[in-house]
Amino acid sequence: DELIEDDDTPVRWFRTNLLKTNTESLMREFKHLRKVNTIEEITEPGVIYYDEYIPNLFGIHPKEKLTSTDAYNKGRLIIQDRASCFPAQILNPIPGKDKVIDACAAPGNKTTHLASILNNSKRSIVAFEKDNKRINTIKMMVEKAGGLDCITIHHADFLTTRQKDFPEITGMLVDPSCSGSGIFGRAFDEQEEMDKEEAKEKLADRLLSLSNFQFTIVKHALSFPNVRKVIYSTCSIHNKENEEVVRMLLEDVQVRSQGWRVSKREDVLPTWPRRGKSEVFEGYENKEELADGCVRALPKVDGGIGFFAVSFERDLPQDKDNN
Ligand code: SAM
C-alpha cells in the first residue's frame, strides 16, 4: 500500500533488487534517461536521479513507464518510496553476521530491502504478518523478489512470539499499522474533516489507540535478549504516533532497565535535513539530541510520502568482551 500510483506523486522511486541484479546492469536498461543531480530537476519524463541517501535508489518522473518494463515485471527493480527505504538503511544489518526480524512485514517492501542489504544471506530474516489477506501479498512479493531462501515468513501475530525462540536475532524492524496520515489523499481528507469538533475527537481517540498499540509492539521488540538495534517507523505525520511513542518507551521502567537509548544522528542518515520534533522531549536535558536522532519526511515537499523513523540501540555485556 506504499506503492503510490496516483499522479500526485512528485517523484516515482525504485531501487535495484540486489537479489537479482546489480545497479550497473539495471542502469543499462535505463540508459536512455539523462542523469540529473537534484529531485527538483525531475520535471518531466526522460531523466533519472541517483539518490544521495539510499544506495541503489533512483527517482524518475511519475509519468515514466515503469510497471510495463521487463525489469519491473521480473523483479529486478522494486518500486518503493524513498522515505520508506529509511528503516532498512538505518538498521543496515551486516551479511553473514546479523539476523533480523521484520515484525510487521506485509506487503514486504522493507523485508525485501533488508534482503538486498543482507546480500540474500540464507535464513537471515524472519518476517511476521498477522493479516489473512496481506500474508498472501508478502508471500508473492518475496517470491517475485527472489528472497525465499533469505526470508522466512510467519503468518502470526508478532506479539505472541516468545523471546527464547529467537536467540539468534540481533536487529528488528517494527513498522506497525498507523493512521497513514503521511500518504497523500488520506492526510487531505483528514484536514477537511478536522473542521468538525466531532471529527477532531474521533481522530484523537484513534491516534491514542494506535499509539498505545505502537508502544506495545515496539516494547515487545525491545525485549528480545540478543537484539542490539530496533528501528521503529510509521507513515504518519502525527507526533502522537511518532516522537510521543519514543518518549513513552524512554520512560518505561522495563525498557530503561534493558539499557536502550535513542541512536545519535551520526548513525541515523546524518545528512537528511528533516529531523524529529524536539518539543515532544520537553523536560529532557538532551531534547535536541533526541529529536535529532529521529528522521521525518513531509508528504510531497520531501519528494514522497510523510514518514517517521527512529533507532533504538544498546550495548550487551558480550560485545564488550569481544572488544
Ligand atoms: N513494512 C511493510 C512494508 O514496508 O511493506 C508495511 C507494514 S504496514 C504499515 C503494517 C503491517 O503490520 C500490516 O500488514 C498489518 O497487518 C501488520 N501487523 C499489525 N499488527 C501486527 C502484529 N501484531 N503482528 C504481525 N503483523 C502485524
Average pLDDT over residues 75-83: 98
* Residue 232 CB coordination number (10 Å): 28
Q: From the CB of 234, is ligand 1 less than 6 Å away?
A: no
Q: Is ligand 1 within 6 A of the CB of residue 79?
A: no
Verify that 160 and 66 share a domain, yes or no. no
Mean local confidence (pLDDT), 23-31: 98
pLDDT, average across residues 257-276: 98
CA dihedral 269, 184, 115, 33 (to 10 degrees): -80
* Residue 43 burial by Cβ neighbours in a 10 Å radius (0-12, 13-18, 19+): exposed
Task: State residue 304's pLDDT score.
Answer: 95
The angle subtended at Cα 287 by Cα 306 and Cα 205, nearest 5°, is 50
CB atoms closer than 10 angstroms to residue 64: 18
In a domain, residue 255? The reply is yes
Probe residue for ligand 1, chosen from 117, 129, 160, 209 as the CB with the greatest number of ligand atoms within 8 Å: 129
- DSSP letters of 22-71? -HHHHHHTTTTSEEESSGGG--STTEEEE-SSSTTEEEE-TTS--TTSHH
Residue 1 inside a domain? The answer is no
pTM of this prediction exceeds 0.90: yes
- List the grid coordinates of 144: 517475485
**Is the residue at 3 inside a domain?**
no
pLDDT band at 78 (very low <50, low <70, confident <90, very high): very high
* Minimum CA distance residue for ligand 1 atom 11: 104
Query: Would you say residue 5 lies in a domain?
Result: no
The answer to whether residue 4 sits within a structural domain is: no
Angle at 23 between CA 22 and CA 27, to 5 degrees: 125
Note whether residue 7 is domain-resident.
Answer: no
1 confidence band (pLDDT: 50, 70, 90): very low
Same domain? For 18 and 76 the reply is yes
Residue partners of 184: CB distance under 8 A and separation at least 6: 4, 6, 8, 9, 299, 300, 305
Q: Verify that 212 and 99 share a domain, yes or no.
A: yes
Residue 129 burial by Cβ neighbours in a 10 Å radius (0-12, 13-18, 19+): buried
Show the CA angle centred on residue 233, arms to residues 200 and 316, nearest 5°: 135
User: Which CATH number does the domain housing residue 189 bear?
Assistant: 3.40.50.150
pLDDT at 2: 45
Query: Within this chain, do residues 98 and 184 fall inside the same structural domain, yes or no?
Result: yes
Q: Which atom of ligand 1 is nearest to the CA of 235?
A: 9
pLDDT tens readout for residues 43-68: 999 999 999 999 999 999 999 999 99
Domain presence at residue 19? yes
* Predicted pLDDT of residue 75: 98
Cell digits for 132?
489473512
Do 73 and 172 sit in the same domain of this protein? no
CB distance 106 to ligand 1 below 6 Å = yes
- Please give the residue range of the domain that contains residue 66: 12-80
Radius of gyration of the chain (CA): 19
- ipTM above 0.95? yes
Which of 177, 212, 217 most suits a substitution to test ligand 1, by most atoms within 8 Å of the C-beta?
Answer: 177
- For residue 5, pLDDT over 80 is answered with no
Last residue of a domain, one of 46, 63, 80: 80
Which residues touch 136 (CB under 8 Å, ≥6 apart)?
A: none
Q: What is the pLDDT of residues 189-236, one digit of tens each?
A: 555 655 678 888 999 999 999 999 999 999 999 999 999 999 999 999
Q: Are residues 184 and 263 in the same domain?
A: yes
Residues 196 and 62 in one domain: no
CB 157 within 8 Å of CB 215? no
- At 237, list the grid cell: 505525520
CATH number at residue 28: 3.30.70.1170
Is residue 62 located within the same domain as residue 91?
A: no
pLDDT confidence band for 320 (50 / 70 / 90): confident
pLDDT of residue 197: 82
Residue list, annotated binding site for S-adenosyl-L-methionine: 104-110, 129, 157, 175
- Whether residues 76 and 96 fall in one domain: no
Q: Which residues contact 90 (CB under 8 A, 6 or more apart)?
A: 231, 263, 267, 268, 269, 295, 309, 311
Q: Which residue, of 39, 64, 80, is where some domain finishes?
A: 80
Residue that finishes a domain, picked among 64, 80, 96 = 80
Q: What is the mean pLDDT of residues 133-155?
A: 98
CA of 177 to the centre of ligand 1 (A): 6
Q: Which residues are catalytic?
A: 235
The whole-number pLDDT of residue 318 equals 86
Is there a domain that residue 95 lies in?
yes
Does residue 255 share a domain with residue 158?
A: yes
Mean pLDDT across 83-112: 98
Q: Identify the residue whose C-alpha is closest to ligand 1 atom 18.
A: 104
Q: With contact defined as beta carbons under 8 Å apart, do 303 and 273 qualify? A: no
DSSP letter at 275 equals B
Residues 219 and 308 in one domain: yes
114-128, 179-193, 240-254, 284-298: least confidently modelled range: 179-193
pLDDT of 158 above 50: yes
pLDDT at 6: 52
Residue 292 CB–ligand 1 contact under 6 Å: no
Mean pLDDT of the residues in the chain: 94
Question: In degrees rounded to 5, what are phi and psi of residue 88?
Answer: -65, -35
Give the residue ranges of DSSP H helices in the chain. 23-28, 70-73, 86-91, 109-117, 134-145, 186-193, 197-221, 243-250, 253-257, 287-293, 317-322
Same domain, 197 and 306: yes
Q: Is the CB of 104 under 6 A from ligand 1?
A: yes
| Domains: count for the chain | 2
Indicate the Cα dihedral angle 44, 46, 49, 55, nearest 10°: 130
Smallest CA separation from ligand 1 atom 22, residue: 157
